Amino acid sequence: MSQNHGPLSSTERIKQSSDNLRGTLAESLLNDVTGNIYEDDVALVRFHGMYIQDDRDRRDERAQKKLERLYSFMIRLRLPGGYLSAEQWRQMHHVAGDHSTGTIKITTRQTVQLHGVLKSHVKPTLKGFNQASLTTIATCGDINRNVLCTSNPIQSKVHAQVFEYAKAIDELLLPKTNAYYEIWLDQEKLEEKQSEEDPLYQDRYMPRKFKIAIAIPPNNDVDVLTNDIGLIAVIENDELLGFNIAIGGGMSATHGNAENYARLASVIGFADTKEKVLKTVYEILTIQRDYGNRSDRKLARLKYTVDRMGLDWWKQELINRTGFEMEAPRPFTFDSRGDYYGWQKDHEDKWHYTVFIENGRILDTEQLALKTALYEVALTDKSDFIFTCNQNLIISNVKAKNKAAVNKILQQFSIIDHTKNASLVRRNAMACVAFNTCPLALAEAQRYMPTLLTKIEPILEKHALQNERILIRMTGCPNGCSRPFAAEIGFVGTAYGKYNMLVGGDSVGLRLNKMYKESLDEAQILNELDNMLGIYKIERKNDESFGDFAHTKWLNGQPLQRTASTFADPILPVNKN
Amino acid sequence: MSILSNQKLSAFQQLLSGASKQELIWMNGYLSGLLSNGTIQQTEVEVAVAAPSVNKITIAYGTETGNSKKLAVTFAAKAKKAGITAKVVSLDQYRLNDLPKEEYFFSLISTHGEGEPPAAARKFYDHIHNNGFKLEKLKYGVLALGDTSYPLFCTAGEQVDAQLEKLGGQRIIPIQKCDVDYEHDADSWFDLLLHRLSAPPTINEVAVAAAPVVIKKSVVKKIYNGSIVTNINLNDRGSNKQTHHIEIVANDEIDYLPGDALGVVPENVAALVDPIVELLGIDRHKTYHFRHEQMTAYDLLKKKLNIFFLPERVVAKYAQLVGQDIPPAKIGLLDLIKIYPLKNNDQFGQLIEILEPIAPRLYSIASSPEAHSGEVHLTVARDRFKVNDEWKYGLCSDFLTCLPSETAIDFYIHRNSQFRLPDDDKDIIMIGPGTGVAPFRSFIAHREATGATGKSWLFFGDQHFVTDFLYQTEWQNWLETGALTQLTVAFSRDQSQKVYVQHKMMQHGQQLYEWLASGASLYVCGAKHPMSTDVEDTLMQLIEKFGNKTIEEAAQFVEQLRDEERYLKDVY
Ligand code: SRM
Ligand SMILES: Cc1cc2nc3c(=O)[nH]c(=O)nc-3n(C[C@H](O)[C@H](O)[C@H](O)COP(=O)(O)OP(=O)(O)OC[C@H]3O[C@@H](n4cnc5c(N)ncnc54)[C@H](O)[C@@H]3O)c2cc1C
Ligand SMILES: Cc1cc2nc3c(=O)[nH]c(=O)nc-3n(C[C@H](O)[C@H](O)[C@H](O)COP(=O)(O)O)c2cc1C
Ligand code: SF4
């Protein structure tokens, strides 16, 4: 057993020799002859919440001009549960304006990214964030990422309580190094390094990125089972009893390599007290730290360690490390993954308005001054802000007496019409960033999805299906950043203008989809959809979802690609819907 | 046996028999001159044999780009061989009170700007122009350097020649005006001079001075026929600048060195020519005569005549032509004829008379004969300026940056003898913001190709890092290969407060001083104002600060750098 694999990957070497993630970042920053950073720092800077990228649209032209690639940083905020105060929003708005492309990009993990931050602007950006006690630490890299939590407070009376778990886990799993403060915020070096002792991450951190989400049923907006660790709140008559704990979820696959596959997390038990939950989560990380694959990064995610060692081994090893045995999982039900658009009132009579933001891109266009509108709202100080995992935004915690004021602004900037008028399919769709900044993109995603949807909408109307919430997700490559393998219809880029089409995922996130056809161009996609939707319209049994219909109709259960069912069925409670 | 008639032959033999050796040599040269090019030629003489009758002369040069100085030095060496000691002095160092005491004074002076003397010769030039004194003793001669492509060819030299005579000086050798390829004419002029000095010709000097200046006509400079192979804007989208990298290939081997510049005469744009043709109802095909050339009216306006921005002297002539009074200011011809129309269109012929040829523009060469054989590269900033709220482009930079590939283009090489690389093992510091970086691309490419061992440090600056980093990837590669040791950049508009190369020089003052102190050469290229002056001030300050010297000592230090030719400027 144990780590039955070869020599350490180069990333492992870099991490361990990085003097707690410092590397040569300071020198990289000082080098003003290039917008890039030194090779080893590329891996390290991620732990600080940044990726070095370049504008892929501009490569050829700049090469012609004898200019290097247009390097810039993508910077990701750490916002457990996706929460921002109005004051923090204002600060983020200004930082984005002063130092980035200006577009505020809501991610599929409940936070935001700024793109196009030049090297000389990185420090001002991070200092700007810091002024509003915002941080980017550990939002990327081989470490625990932003912790997700079902976003909408109306979901449950215990939402606030569950949200506290997200924050507690977030804090529990932060790295101990002081590098972030030294390098970016110019705080002076600590004398005694032992304060940097990191019992969890040591000097090797995790073998790979690590993701945790908490869902409050019946909403699965967080796509809880696509995470390394999924916590499913168990609530009985408005009382939080504890959490079902699932491990080994993850999306990314590799074209033409069955070794890499998407996997839904397997529910392995239930824990009641906060202490037990945190302890369990913590030890799952230590086990993955010790047993995860550190030689082949493509096999380093928890999901592969889970499959390699087996669930029983995991449960036993957990007992060894936590000192207690988890209870059997409690039954749970999900009914959707969508957001509740428009105004909603919670149990405390506070109001929450969910704004539809296509692919999470907050900017001002001729049609819609979205960015300005939200800034106006933030100026009133009458609300908080919560990002959703569907790349949308909730203007949150608006007191009844303030609702009118906020509503006025939303009306004035026609945010309300914009949200109302968007078609159902568009409102539920997601696309990842892909071009022009993502270095791994094989095809367009967020820049293309809107156009594709405009061509799909008429087809839905043609078959009178415009009122079906069919979940469509697109990515520019098989890494799965918009969780396309957990969609009813997934489009996964294979080459420029070409997408694999996957169908048959369920609507609530308990069953992955499967390959239907490979490398389709737009015409082929539209043609396939027209046929499939036509057949679906006629043959569907009462309110059967498209995903379920497709699963039996075209994939007749035959997994063309390993899915959750092949691993987790035994302990997955039947979906009561 | 002879083709001469007996009568002629005997006369000839008689003439020869009675002649001294000197006379024979003279006649010989005279004849060869006649044969070489119908004009009468002064004799070139083997001087070493002759015994000098004069043993002390002064050679005073006025130079901008070092050519006159280079000649002065070689002449002095030649004189020494002939047993004459020559004191070589730059005109800005020349003590004006010495002039009246001079006996044999020879001036080598170039023309710059618009027919002006080099900055270094200004003092002297003005001094001899306010003729409050007499120069009884003075025996003098002038060698004028210039460029026939300019409207005012060698005027500075002509002025000096005329003024010295006015002041009572005695011209003992006719002025020689040289084009850009000046070497041959300059040498023969000096050989003749040495001959005169070592053995005064039988004909008395007064005669020479008065004699009509019959002199072999100048060797005209070599014009290369090239063609554009690359013409790309180096600035990225969103830049305020438009700086083109232009590659030209020529049919025959281009003879130049790093530091030289390329001269080109631009054409006028049709958009400017056509309205003039319309307005004056010119017959495009009618041919006219202009400075020994026969050309159609259209070609004259398009290729030959400066109609873009007329100098005041031309405007003045135009005023006479149309009999109006016109404010003495530069103006374009189109505007001129619109506001002050010709009396009638037949005056076009006269108009041509008063117009001047388009002056050439110079561009520092950005390539190296060693690294880019058969090619010459330029870095041309498209000059954009506002004339009452209307954007205009400079004539030549617009012409060049708009040339598509494969266009034919004529050019010549302007030697810059005082902007040369030091020995291979010497270190160089290059200050080249904006297009000032051009010659340094040549330097580094050259040093890499020739395997020079000296260290190199470039200071580059422009507005924005992202859009204006000229040749960024090339510098990065050279940093990797080591051909460039160090690169310091200043991007003025990337932060709230402006940062320029001189600020970066100060920042690295300690190191910069150490380089200089241990023998490095400092090169400055680019805008004369304000860059080169700011850089010089900063240089003084950092030498004062990091060499802990007094201001005077710092100034001395810089002076010494100049003397050792380790502080070289090519600014415009
Ligand atoms: C912004 C975001 C997509 C979006 O449109 O919202 C995103 C964007 C990128 N992802 Fe992702 N991922 C994002 C959510 C996801 C998700 C969805 C999720 O976590 O719920 C997944 C699938 C779940 C999973 O992890 O298995 C995901 C799986 C990946 C992978 C594959 C990881 C693997 O196990 O192999 C990569 C590639 C890698 O890590 O090597 C990746 C890498 C990237 C990078 C950083 C590309 C890179 O490594 O250089 C992308 C940056 C694009 C850009 O220019 O912004 N991203 N990425 C999401 C940011 C989430 C956040 O705030 O942290
Ligand atoms: C030794 C040397 C080296 C050089 N090296 C380079 C080099 O490497 N790269 C480079 O880009 N340049 C270089 N230059 C400068 C170059 O020679 C030209 O001076 C420059 O390109 C401008 O010439 P132009 O014909 O485009 O502009 P011009 O037409 O000569 O105009 C020049 C200026 O005159 C004024 N002007 C002209 N027309 C009008 C009008 N109608 N109304 C009002 N004002 C007007 C404007 O202020 C304009 O900026 C160098 C110069 C020298 C002497
Ligand atoms: C900016 C500039 C302007 C010039 N103007 C003239 C001119 O008006 N008339 C002329 O005959 N030569 C002109 N020339 C040509 C120079 O006189 C010629 O290149 C000479 O060789 C320079 O000699 P120097 O290096 O001693 O200064 C000009 C050269 C430059 C660089
Ligand atoms: S899915 Fe692929 S293309 Fe899309 S953002 Fe993630 S890595 Fe980039």
> Per the CB < 8 Å rule, is A66 touching B489?
no
Residue type for A391, please?
Q
Using the predicted structure, report yes or no on whether residue A572 has a pLDDT greater than 90.
no
Would you call A64 helix, strand, or coil by DSSP?
helix
pLDDT class of A555 with cuts at 50, 70, 90: confident
Residue B211 pLDDT exceeds 70: no
Q: Is the dihedral of CA A133, A139, A142, A145 positive or negative?
A: positive
Chain B residue numbers touching A64 (CB-CB < 8 A): 232
Q: Is the CB of A477 under 6 A from ligand 4?
A: yes
How far apart, in whole angstroms, are the C-alpha atoms of residue A533 and residue A540? 10
Other C-beta atoms lying within 10 Å of the C-beta of residue A367:
8
Cβ of residue B471 closer than 8 Å to a chain A Cβ: yes
Q: Name the DSSP letter for residue B302.
A: I
Which residues of A are known to be catalytic?
Answer: 76, 145, 209, 211, 432, 438, 477, 481
The answer to whether B425 and B454 have CB atoms below 8 angstroms apart is yes
With contact defined as beta carbons under 8 Å apart, do A406 and A382 qualify?
Answer: yes
What pLDDT, in 10s, does the model give residues A312-334? 999 999 999 999 999 999 999 99
Q: Measured between alpha carbons, how far is B132 from A380 in angstroms, rounded to an integer?
A: 83
pTM of the model: 0.89
pLDDT-derived band of residue A558, with 50, 70 and 90 as boundaries? low
Q: Tell which atom from ligand 1 comes closest to the C-alpha of A76.
A: 62
Nearest ligand to the CA atom of B365: 2
Confidence label for A515 from pLDDT (cuts 50, 70 and 90): very high
Share of chain A above pLDDT 90, in %: 92
Q: List the single residue in B with minimal CA-CA distance to A68.
A: B473
User: Where in B256-407 does DSSP place strands (E)?
Assistant: 261-264, 287-290, 293-296, 361-364, 375-381, 384-387, 390-393
CB-based contacts of A452-455 (< 8 A; 24+ apart in sequence): A452/A491, A452/A522, A452/A525, A453/A423, A453/A425, A453/A426, A453/A429, A455/A522, A455/A526
DSSP annotation of B347: G
Q: What is the pLDDT of residue A188?
A: 79
Chain A environment of B234 (Cβ under 8 Å):
65-67
pLDDT, mean of residues A551-570: 55
Residue A565 has pLDDT above 70, yes or no: no
In A442-503, alpha helices (H): 449-462
In contact, B24 and B32? CB cutoff 8 Å: no
Per-residue confidence band for A294, with pLDDT thresholds at 50, 70 and 90? very high
Mean pLDDT over B91-109 rounds to 94
For helices A302-309 and A274-291, angle between their N-to-C axes, nearest 10 degrees: 80
pLDDT tens string B152-184 = 999 999 999 999 999 999 999 999 999 999 999
Burial class (CB in 10 A: 0-12, 13-18, 19+), A24: middle
Q: A576 falls in which pLDDT band (50, 70, 90)?
A: very low
Q: Kindly state whether A35 is in contact with chain B, defined as any CB-CB distance less than 8 angstroms.
A: yes
pLDDT at A192: 65
**pLDDT at site A4:** 56
Helix, strand or coil for residue A31?
Answer: coil
Nearest chain B alpha carbon to A70: B466
List CB contacts of A59: < 8 A, sequence separation 6 or more: A69
ipTM given for this complex: 0.91
Please answer whether residues A81 and A147 qualify as being in contact, where contact means their C-beta atoms are separated by less than 8 angstroms: yes
Rounded CA gap, B71 and B48, in Å?
Answer: 19
Residue type, A310: G
Give me the pLDDT at residue A566, please: 35
- The two tokens of residue A519 are 């490398």
**CA A145 to ligand 2 center in whole angstroms:** 57
CA B297 to CA B352: how far, in whole Å? 9
In a 3-state reduction of DSSP, which class is residue B163? helix
Q: How many CB atoms lie within 10 A of CB B550?
A: 9
Confidence of residue B30 (pLDDT cuts 50, 70, 90): low
- Burial of A270 (C-beta count, 10 Å sphere; 0-12/13-18/19+): buried
d(CA A398, CA B240): 47
Tokens of B423: 């020995």
Average pLDDT value over all residues in chain A? 94
Q: What is the pLDDT of residues B492-546, one digit of tens each?
A: 999 999 999 999 999 999 999 999 999 999 999 999 999 999 999 999 999 999 9
Q: What's the pLDDT tens digit per position in B380-435?
A: 999 999 998 999 999 999 999 999 999 999 999 999 999 999 999 999 999 999 99
Confidence of residue A574 (pLDDT cuts 50, 70, 90): very low
Determine the pLDDT at residue B94. 94
pLDDT for residue A559 is more than 80: no
Position B488 pLDDT exceeds 80: yes
